[in-house]
Amino acid sequence: MATVAPPPHTTPASNATHQDGRLQLKPLEGVEAAKRAAAYASVDNHIKPEHKIIGIGSGSTVPYVVERIVQQGPKVNLHRWFIPTGFQSKELIVKAGLPLGDVDSFPVIDVTIDGADEVDSSLNCIKGGGACQLREKVLAESASTFIVIADYRKNSTILGEKWSQGVPIEVAQFAYASVMRRLEQMGGKPALRMGGGAKAGPCVTDNSNFVIDSPFPESLMKKPAELSDRIKLMTGVVEVGLFCNMAKAAYFGNQDGTITSKYAGGEVKEGEQFDVGRSPMVA
């Protein structure tokens, strides 16, 4: 992906209007309102004016991250570069009029904010439900600060407690059968992910690989870093959708509109109020 700058006339757009110093936002309910609150809080707390290289992840919560960044205003955003994890986030960046970059040109990232399929009490994550785990992990590891956002349904004690689809594993196409056999031998129940109704045959990632989804026994899921290492050593495995000991914080939007935030080290804040109509500190 080439590194490009926006046209000189481009001004990042937002769906918010300003009235009496507040943002007039489209009303949301339920899970979507929870996602927006978590995303806005993560941006306000972790993307500051001095942050110039920002990783944008994938998932249904991430559009609200881009929305909040746009609300910070063109004065700061036109001096930044935004690095996508895949096609979805690239489209979000381009459509918002934000400067698009690539990790090839910016291997050191200030902050990456990404969604997750599930997060445990130690901030270990399952990611890859959208088949972007390889690029997501590169941006997470390249970032000085990696932040996870999700709604309350993804907040777990042990991985696999709520995400029943299993661990996403990206594999070379020719090696999938061999990898599946070895996953079964270690107690997994692997299944090759299919492309869905719009595509006959297996799901193919942006990197032209297949994805295997494999649930594992709780005894293995309690030690996700060890499990990830075991899978990664299998010949043919490109990347594993277990993100262990990487996140600095995780934000969960709750059904009642409050936010639960968890931090590396064990601190948990529950029931935090966040005013989504408040303009961001940067303008």
* Contact (CB, 8 A) for 251 and 148: yes
How much is the CA Rg of the chain, to the nearest whole Å?
19
Report phi then psi at 112, rounded to 5: -120, 130
The separation between the first and the last C-alpha atoms of the chain, rounded to the nearest angstrom, is 30
The 8-class DSSP code of residue 60 comes to T
The CA-atom distances, in angstroms, between 204 and each of 110, 177, 194, 239, 240 are 30, 15, 9, 14, 15
* Helix H or strand E segment including 46: helix 30-46
Residue segments in the chain with a per-residue pLDDT below the cut of 50:
1-13, 283
Do residues 15 and 67 touch, judged by C-beta distance below 8 A?
yes
pLDDT at 59: 86
Structural domains in the chain, sorted by start: 26-159+244-272 (3.40.50.1360), 167-241 (3.30.70.260)
Region at 160 (left for phi over 0; alpha for psi -120 to 50; beta for the rest): left
**How many Å separate Cα 225 from the centre of its chain?**
19
| CA 91 centroid distance within chain | 15
Q: What pLDDT is recorded for position 281?
A: 66
Output DSSP code: residue 264. Answer: T
pTM over 0.95, yes/no: no
**What is the CB neighbour count within 10 angstroms for residue 108?**
9
The amino acid at 103? V
Do the Cβ atoms of 118 and 125 come closer than 8 Å? Answer: yes
Distance of CA 185 to the CA centre of its chain: 30
C-alpha 41/C-alpha 36 separation (Å) is: 8
Span 54-106, pLDDT tens digits: 999 988 999 999 999 999 999 999 999 999 999 999 999 999 999 999 999 99
| Both tokens assigned to 209 | 């690989």
Active-site residues, by number, are 136
